[in-house]
Amino acid sequence: MKKFVAKKIYAGLYVYRGLVIRRFEYEGYPVYWSIGDTVDAYGNRRNPEDNTDYFNVTFNDSANTFAEAKYLVDDIYFNDKGERRNY
């Protein structure tokens, strides 16, 4: 099986298999990691081209840890053949 590596954009923001994983931490609440797609002005999914694109992210799912977020990406967003599911 192919190993995928998360690319660090800056502290708390990573790109993993074309999806954005971001750390959220609010005072008084537990830390969580959100998974999302970069989108254009119309909400269409697209690959990020520069650092400013990471501000246009639609977050869909959350996890308690970074490792769990990567597992969710592998398990939910991709099928056994490595193809992206359409949802």
Which stretch of DSSP H or E encloses residue 21? strand 19-24
Handedness of CA 51, 42, 26, 21 (dihedral sign): negative
Record the pTM. Answer: 0.83
Of 1-5, 37-41, 68-72, minimum mean pLDDT range: 37-41
Contacts of 65-68 with C-beta under 8 Å, sequence gap 24+, read 65/33, 66/6, 66/14, 66/21, 66/23, 66/33, 68/33
Stretch 11-32: mean pLDDT: 92
